Structure formats: structure tokens, C-alpha cells
Chains A and B, each alone.
Chain A
Amino acid sequence: MAEPWEDDELEGPVRKFMYVNRRAPYGTIYALESLEVVLIAAAFEQDVTLVFMDDGVYQIKKEQNTEAIGVKNFSPTYRALEGYDVEKLYVERESLQSRGLTVEDLIVPVQIVDKDQLAELMEEQEVILSF
């Protein structure tokens, strides 16, 4: 039982947030900084969905090794998302296939959806943050 002073006033409503990742890592900072948003957002206990599409699928490519470019490899962080209760990860089938990749190439378990399923999924959201 929740105590009367533990009502939902402080927490506010739970909304459906979708983070759409469409950029490759390292070439620009968008992938890293959008991951930082997702990690902070987890603390707000919203209904979070992550999508990887277009070049965003490269963010979760296995075996990234950034030693020789002098940039931190942040791909292991995607594996930590589960610990933040961020568990709904979707990858668009067409984006994966057109890049010659399969789920075997990905660093985290994901659900594969086709473009029409993804379009429907987007329509179900309340807030879409696209990076």
C-alpha cells in the first residue's frame, strides 16, 4: 500500500517515449549524446522504446574497436540499458538488410520489425525524440 504522501504528484504521468536512432556512431556525436538522453530518461520511469533504423543500426554493431581513432567506445553501454529497465529495443528489418547485417551482428538482443510495423509503433507513442 502506498502511503498518502507517496501519491503520484511528484512522479507525474507516465508517457510513451520513443527514441529514434538514425545515425552512425563516431562520425558525429548524435549517437553518443542520444544514448546519454536515454540513460537520464530511465530515471523518470517513463514507458521507453528505442528504435534503431537507417544508419542507427550501426550503433549496436558488435566488435567496435575505437582504440586507433582516439575516441571512447560507448557500444558496451547499450548492453547496460537492460539494467535501467530499458528493454524495448526495436530494429527495422529493411535498415538491417540493406546494410548486409543480421541480428547476429548486433551487440544487444532486439526485436526486428518491418517498416509498416515501425510506422504503427511510432503512431502509438506520445513523445518522439529523433536523433
Chain B
Amino acid sequence: MKLSVLVNEGPYQHQSADSAIQFTTAALKKGHEIFRVFFYHDGVNNGTRFAVPPKDDRNITEQWTALSKEYNLDLVICIAAAQRRGILDENEAKRQGKDGHNMADGFRISGLGQLIEAGIQSDRLVIFGD
């Protein structure tokens, strides 16, 4: 079955990102297709490569990146929510005249239309948040 996942909270603050990773991994292992994982609200903070959690803790962003590499997962960060919270890819940094960019490998920035499209194209949409 074709599933999509929406993540609405940032990593570490709330369990939702961890739950989403566990759910997504389980779905992929069962052979389901994950059409898209969309990050909204503070969920966009999942995509910063500048986070440095303690060594004995999990690195949530790297977990997403690894999943995206292994399964060719489409990880989409909402551009409007990302701009508010300072999550930028190289293009956006250039466009906004910022001196750096922090988006991690495997993620891409796009519009809210990608969430709606996920709702249209997927058999199920599962939301993780606070």
C-alpha cells in the first residue's frame, strides 16, 4: 500500500519524530511504499544538519538521511515553515541572501502543495505530532 507520513514536531523535544521513524521503517520493511514524508510546523527542524546531539544519543536527522538513502525516501520540508525557523538549503540561502545553509542530505525543500499531493496520491496519511 502507498503511505505518506506527516511530521509536525521537531526532533528531541517531542517523541513524534522518533515515532515517525519507527513507523516509516516498519512500513518499508513490510514492503509498503512510502510516497512521501512531509515535515511541517517545528517538524522542519528534523532537517538541520547542524544539530549535534550527545554521542550516546540517537541522531534523528542522520536516521532520516540513512532511511532516505536506503529506500530512496522522499523527505520534503515545507518551505514556508522552514523559512520562519531558519532551515535553508543552498538555493534558498542564496535567494534570501543568507551566509549559510543547514539542510541535511536526503531532504528537499518544497511547498505545501507537496503535502496536499501526498494526501491525494497516498492510500493513507499518518500524522505524528504533539
Contact = CB atoms under 8 A, between A and B. Distances in A.
B120 A40 contact: no
Contacts of B111: 40
A40 B115 CA distance: 10
A35 B81 CA distance: 13
Interface residues of B, number: 17
A127 interface: yes
Interface string B1-45: 000001010000000000000000000000000000000110000
A13 interface: yes
Contact of B41 (A30, A40, A43): A30
Contact of A40 (B6, B112, B121, B127): B112
B53 interface: no
A63 interface: no
A65 interface: no
Interface residues of A, number: 19
Contact of A41 (B80, B116, B127): B116
Contacts of A17: 116, 119
Contacts, number: 43
A80 interface: no
B41 A36 contact: no
A33 B127 CA distance: 15
Interface of A is mostly: mixed
A128 B4 CA distance: 12
Among B8, B80, B111, B119, residue most surrounded by chain A Cβ atoms (within 10 Å)? B119
19 contacts: A13-B120, A15-B119, A17-B116, A17-B119, A30-B41, A36-B80, A37-B40, A37-B112, A37-B115, A37-B116, A40-B113, A40-B116, A41-B112, A41-B116, A44-B116, A44-B120, A46-B119, A128-B125, A129-B125
Interface of A: 12-13, 15, 17, 29-30, 33, 36-37, 40-41, 43-44, 46, 127-131
Interface of B: 6, 8, 40-41, 80-81, 111-113, 115-117, 119-121, 125, 127
Given A30-B41, A40-B116, A129-B119, 9 more contacts: A15-B119, A37-B115, A37-B116, A40-B112, A44-B116, A46-B120, A127-B119, A128-B125, A129-B6
